[in-house]
Amino acid sequence: MKKISIIGAGNTGATAAHWLAERELADVVLLDVVEGMPQGKGLDMLEAMPIIGRDTHILGTNNYEDTKNSDIIIITAGIARKPGMSREDLLKTNAEIVGKAATETLKHSPNAIFIVLTNPLDTMAYLTKKATGLPRSRIIGQAGILDSARMRAFVALEAGVSVENVQCYVLGGHGDEMVPLTHHSNIAGIPLKEYFPADKLEAIVNRTRKGGGEIVNLLKTGSAYYAPSLACAQMAEAILEDKKLIVPCAAYMDGEYGLKDMYFGVPVMLGAGGMEKIIEYKLDAEEKALFEKSAASVRESHEALKSVVSL
């Protein structure tokens, strides 16, 4: 059985463990600094497995040694956004948490592939790469799958069609400057620009950009976790099963789309080697302008990171 370790047993980490265990993809280790909490959640989940006939083993722990020989490490640890707080407000605290999680797990799992979920997402993926020194194929940020899923949900609601008929692609940084590709996105092959009047489409795009904030404002004491954690599970499945699945993820850019030395949301191919390829779309002038604006915002966050952490 393969092994996945999840660092951070809060709502997102525990729900990721739930999705993964249910799929019987791998044995799961749930690690957190809070004593007893990951153990309790892990045991509760383990006791659920007979009900659904799954032989997944789930272990809750406070000890990094229990993560040894993991195939995949998912980092969700960090403080969640509160109303009025931007992702960048989280930077310093979460940089310390993620930096430790990355270096400690790598000691015990030198061949693992890392999926980073902690916000600010692109910058925490960049930190993980710099802290571990791993090749870019082995560190991927989860953002684009979530943002694209949100857009698909909103399009399906507005159009009154099955989500299965909706394909959406959201690139760029995981924040308010993300770039929904409206002319590549479609309903059963019909581009969204042809399906919706301009004002409707703009409303969908804006709701997608603010999707995380909308949930933060409703919950008041936390942030989204069902969809983000399931997106991590989809990425883990694509890697463990060598699916060659093309999805938007945060990847380390080395010249693609004209970007270098930064993490940014682009279409990638996920397989046994992790991030195996970056797919380059042709962008129209409007998308290119949005893309560059988003890249500038992510770069700022990367520079802010360098001022609070030595890389």
Chosen domain end from 108, 141, 174: 141
Contacts of 83 (CB under 8 A, 6+ apart): 216, 217, 220
Whole-number pLDDT of residue 92: 85
Catalytic residue numbers, as ranges: 174
Identify the pLDDT of residue 90. Answer: 76
Same domain, 150 and 136: no
Q: How far apart are CA 262 and CA 250, in angstroms?
A: 9
Domain that holds residue 235: 144-308
Residues 93 and 172 in one domain: no
Q: Given this model, what pLDDT does residue 88 score?
A: 66
CA angle 148, 209, 116 (to 5 degrees): 60
The two three-digit tokens of residue 240, written as one number: 């463990």
Q: Examine the domain organization and report whether 114 and 183 are in the same domain.
A: no
Cβ contact 116:141 at 8 Å:
yes
Which stretches of the chain score pLDDT less than 50? none
Tell me the sheet residues that pair with 113. 72
Give the tens place of pLDDT for each residue, 146-176. 999 999 999 999 999 999 999 999 999 988 8
* Two structure tokens written together for 138: 């082995």
Residue 176 zone, left/alpha/beta (φ > 0; ψ -120 to 50; rest): alpha
- What single letter denotes the amino acid at residue 19? W
Last residue of a domain, one of 125, 141, 157: 141
pTM: 0.96
**Tokens encoding 113:** 């592939």
How does pLDDT run across 216-272, given as a tens digit for each residue?
A: 999 988 889 999 999 999 999 999 999 999 999 999 999 999 999 999 999 999 999
250 and 288 in a common domain = yes
Give the pLDDT of residue 79: 84
Residues 119 and 156 in one domain: no
**One domain for residues 268 and 123:** no
Indicate which CATH number applies to the domain containing 44: 3.40.50.720
Same domain, 106 and 154: no
The per-residue pLDDT for 310 is: 82
**What is the predicted pLDDT for the residue at 81?**
66
CATH code for position 208: 3.90.110.10
Q: How many domains does the chain divide into?
A: 2
The residue among 94, 120, 141 that closes a domain is 141
Q: CA 253, CA 255: separation in Å to the nearest integer?
A: 6
